[in-house]
Structure 1
Amino acid sequence: MPSVSLLFRYLQVIPLLLAYGPVNSAEPSVLTLRAATEKVVRDNPDLAQMRARANAMAAVPSQQGSLPDPIIRFNAANLPVDSFDTRQIDMTQIGFGISQAIPFPGKLALRKEAATYTATAAGHTVDETRLRLLSDVKTLWWLVFYLDRALEIVENNHNLLQQFVDIARTKYEVGEGLQQDVLLAQLELSKLLDRKINLTGTRKNSAAKLNALLDQPANAEMLLPTTADMQLPALKQENQLYQLAENARPLLAGERQGIHAAESRLDLAKKDILPDFNVEAAYGARGNMPNGTARSDLLSLGVSMNVPIFAGSKQNKAVDQRTSELMQEKYALQDQWNQVRAQISQSINDYQRAKDQFVLFDTGIIPQARQTVASMLAGYQVNKVDFLNLVRSQITLFEFETQYWKAFTEARQALAQTALAVGEDDIYE
């Protein structure tokens, strides 16, 4: 019974299919922009080390606000070296003591305050790093997307020019065309191959950079979607984005915390001219003399303080140092604020320019260029258009289609730069 034998063999194959799964299961998954941004926030080592640094800085304020550790002391005083007998001499005693350094009131609070501001600034640095990485990932992702589209255009144009070569060769073979037309078409094909080589190399380099940001091997295969949302939204007004950045940009918030920390250090430097104290207590135990004479134990109490007699060359200079550092932080904030506004304005201008170019290519230039190519091709087939003009029209269309995707990509990259400059994604009307 052949049917029973076939069924038996089929049943034997089923467990193997279930065990090994689909043959193409190792193919890379499509990396969407959202997946890339989520992965960089989760896996990027630079961001992870900045978080670790912020966690380390968060543990500093408690240390700076605590008193120095007390010192415990044990000693044997006035011990005779000939016998080492603790009862031979009246002043011999076995003692122990404790001392505690106490900074002048207010110094510990200022040290803790400065460390707290510094730790908060480190937290803002983490947020700034996250924004920068998101912008870098978006910029590279859109670059790879553009290169994929450019390679598709090259491939399509290669196929069209190959058809032109076939048409030119056919007309030449029947005596209706010129050999130079065939050579010209082959030359343009070679140029396209050169363009493809350059685009492929750029694509590999860009993918390697993106893989590095995503904590993946640089040579890991990367597959992006073939379509994207082609809508380019309107941005908020420039002054509105300025206002958003003033409150939302972590870079500026971190600089403000740096100013607060510098102010606390300046106040601390001014207080350093006031003395710190050291409080100590010691207890000396004495046993009775060999002749039975009783000796009482001894208690010692003391307070000491430092005397800032070199204030002119030490504490006062420290005040000058901290004053200059405070001015440095204020100038740094002003410079960063100027840079942020420049970034916002530049990214807005880049976006508007790229958006206008994209609309122009989409609604005007490319449709007209396609009509021109179609008309040229029809005219060439009936010997009303020379081959050179036909090839030129197709190459022009190729350039326009590439510029169309480049303008769209640059607009998307400008949006990423704008979000980075502002410090948040709420940049649209």
Structure 2
Amino acid sequence: MFIVICPSPLRRACPTWGAVIFGLALFSFAPVFQISANAIRVSWAEAVAETPQPTKKDESILTLNQAIEQALLGNPGLGEIKARAEAMAAVPSQEGTLPDPELKFGALYLPTNSFNLRQDDFTMMEVGISQEIPFPGKLALREKIAEQEALAAADSVDEARLRLVREVKMGWWRLFYYDRALSLLDEAEQFFLQLIDIAQAKYKVGKGSQQDVLLAQLELSKLKDEKLSLIGMRHGQDARFNALLDRTPEMPVRIPAEADFKLPAIVESALQDKALQIRPLFAQHRKMLGAAKAKVDLAQKGFYPDFTVGAFYDIRQDTLSGQSRSDFASVQLSMNLPIYAGRKQAKAVDQRQSELLQERYAQLDEHHKIQAEIAAKAAEYQQTKEKLLLLEHEIIPQAQQAVNSLLAGYQVSRTDFTDLLRTQLSFFQYQTQYWQALSSTQQILAELSAEVGEELSHD
């Protein structure tokens, strides 16, 4: 009896298609069947029937979409950026509004020898109001700067959301790979345990050697060591993944046995053009560039004075003899004098122009970085995709046929045990490489989606 679980990368990632389990075949020396890589599928329940599954009620299976949804709702880093953007959205109206007027009260020319309000004709009580008025155009520019910065902050939220989704996808697919690799190790352990029993049985009847038993035991020990390493990496990834979802680090993460995945054909130039159009980071830079230009205009208006207008009413008391005295009213206009323009306003213009140049260089630098990243990831994706398809359609079926052939020869003592062992180990490695390549393609697609600014599809 043979159980072969083979992938179909154009449709779904099946739960496990690990090492061929030869137990019954070795015990009964049943005829070897040639099985096509695309002909047989085994359900998850059958493939992992002997694998113990967690039973804790709080360990619900977490699909990729559910993980993304939880991260977008609960990630504290994203919440921080959202709160900052909301705070900046409240700034423009403040910057575009006149300063609060000043209400003034005072006592003028009060004689210090008596502090009597009626003693002197110049003694009066004053009440007034004044308003600072910036030079025309300054308020509008300040509001425009704040608006552009607030819009850039909103774009930063979208950019942070892209980065978070990328990290969740990459973490989820790493966990998926660890689970598949551990499943393969479980199957390989079962195979070697059964192989050890067969080698010992053949050794007892004089048809095998003790060397065969020792070699099989050594490989079993190596598998156990590799499994310990994988379990450790899996636990570490659990903690990092839970941090993205705002969950406790020790909370177990259960990944489904099957997962939808895609292998779209991508065109590098099309991705770069699309990134320029829809990537929030570029929109953020454009708005920051607009804010920098407005800051230059505002600095140039610094050469013009601001004004303060005021109106005051002075109340005088009657004289000591009862003679009435009229009240006074006054209007004031004042302005600041930019007499230090060469050391202050001119330097402010130079500062803002340098900041504008900085924004332009930052935008160009980001453009070049993203272009290079898209080109590198596109090439890496194409290479990994081709490796994935090669493993599925050529290498793994050929390795399986080689194992079947060597097993048939070993059954009749025509094949050396070490050849069978080496070929089976290679078969296991190829299967592990397949799951690693599959996980890598999906992680690279997650990175490309973040670089472009939208989910990549088959189209």
TM-score, normalization by structure 1: 0.92
CA distance in 2, matches of 1:106, 1:232: 55
Deviations 1:41-85 (A, max 9, x none): 111111111111000000011111111111111111111222221
Match of residue 168 from structure 1: 199
CA distance in 1, matches of 2:189, 2:127: 94
Deviation, 1:173, is 1.4
Does residue 142 (structure 1) correspond to residue 181 (structure 2)? The answer is: no
> What does 1:194-213 align with in structure 2 at a 5 Å threshold?
194-213=225-244
Match of residue 158 from structure 2: 127
CA distance in 2, matches of 1:346, 1:231: 19
Match of residue 254 from structure 2: 223
Match of residue 423 from structure 2: 393
1:50–1:125 contact (8 Å) kept in structure 2: yes
Deviations 1:123-153 (A, max 9, x none): 0000000000001000000000011000001
Alignment RMSD: 1.2
Code of the aligned partner of 1:264: A
Match of residue 408 from structure 2: 378
Match of residue 455 from structure 2: 425
CA distance in 2, matches of 1:364, 1:34: 32
Deviations 1:190-247 (A, max 9, x none): 0000110011111111111111100111110111111123542222x22221221111
Match of residue 354 from structure 2: 324
Deviations 1:236-274 (A, max 9, x none): x22221221111100111011110000000000000010
Deviation, 1:366, is 0.5
Deviation, 1:353, is 1.1
SS at match of 1:284: strand
> What does 1:1-20 align with in structure 2 at a 5 Å threshold?
none
1:144–1:206 contact (8 Å) kept in structure 2: yes
1:262–1:329 contact (8 Å) kept in structure 2: yes
2:264–2:457 contact (8 Å) kept in structure 1: no
Match of 1:78 among 80, 88, 109: 109
Does residue 34 (structure 1) correspond to residue 65 (structure 2)? The answer is: yes
SS at match of 2:378: helix
CA distance in 1, matches of 2:113, 2:289: 65
Match of 1:313 among 319, 332, 343: 343
Match of residue 296 from structure 2: 266
If each structure's helix is expressed as a fraction of its own residues, which one has the higher value?
Answer: 1
CA distance in 2, matches of 1:265, 1:27: 54
> What does 1:235-274 align with in structure 2 at a 5 Å threshold?
235=266, 237-274=267-304
Does residue 350 (structure 1) correspond to residue 380 (structure 2)? The answer is: yes
CA distance in 2, matches of 1:242, 1:55: 30
2:263–2:458 contact (8 Å) kept in structure 1: no
Code of the aligned partner of 1:249: R
| Unpaired stretches in structure 1, ≥5 consecutive residues | 1-23
2:261–2:442 contact (8 Å) kept in structure 1: no
Match of residue 182 from structure 1: 213
| Unpaired stretches in structure 2, ≥5 consecutive residues | 1-54
Match of residue 92 from structure 1: 123
Instruction: State the number of aligned residues.
Output: 405
Deviations 1:278-308 (A, max 9, x none): 1112111001111232211011211111111
2:171–2:237 contact (8 Å) kept in structure 1: yes
Deviation, 1:343, is 1.9
1:419–1:427 contact (8 Å) kept in structure 2: no
Match of residue 7 from structure 1: none
Does residue 334 (structure 1) correspond to residue 364 (structure 2)? The answer is: yes
Code of the aligned partner of 1:360: L
Deviation, 1:324, is 0.3
Does residue 302 (structure 1) correspond to residue 332 (structure 2)? The answer is: yes
Match of residue 6 from structure 1: none
CA distance in 1, matches of 2:260, 2:164: 22
SS at match of 1:222: coil
CA distance in 2, matches of 1:229, 1:40: 20
Deviations 1:169-197 (A, max 9, x none): 11111122211111111110000001100
1:241–1:427 contact (8 Å) kept in structure 2: no
SS at match of 1:76: strand
CA distance in 2, matches of 1:401, 1:46: 38
CA distance in 2, matches of 1:27, 1:290: 90
CA distance in 2, matches of 1:392, 1:122: 58
2:110–2:124 contact (8 Å) kept in structure 1: yes
CA distance in 2, matches of 1:372, 1:107: 80
Deviation, 1:428, is 3.8
2:276–2:282 contact (8 Å) kept in structure 1: yes
Deviation, 1:25, is 7.4
2:148–2:288 contact (8 Å) kept in structure 1: yes
CA distance in 1, matches of 2:261, 2:405: 29
Match of 1:292 among 322, 327, 337: 322
CA distance in 2, matches of 1:289, 1:400: 110
For structure 1, which segment, 219-228 or 106-115, has the greater mean C-alpha deviation from structure 2 after superposition?
219-228
> What does 1:57-68 align with in structure 2 at a 5 Å threshold?
57-68=88-99
Deviation, 1:381, is 2.2
Does residue 192 (structure 1) correspond to residue 223 (structure 2)? The answer is: yes
TM-score, normalization by structure 2: 0.86
Q: Alpha carbons of 1:359 and 1:426: their partners in 2 closer, same or farther (altered >3 Å)?
A: closer
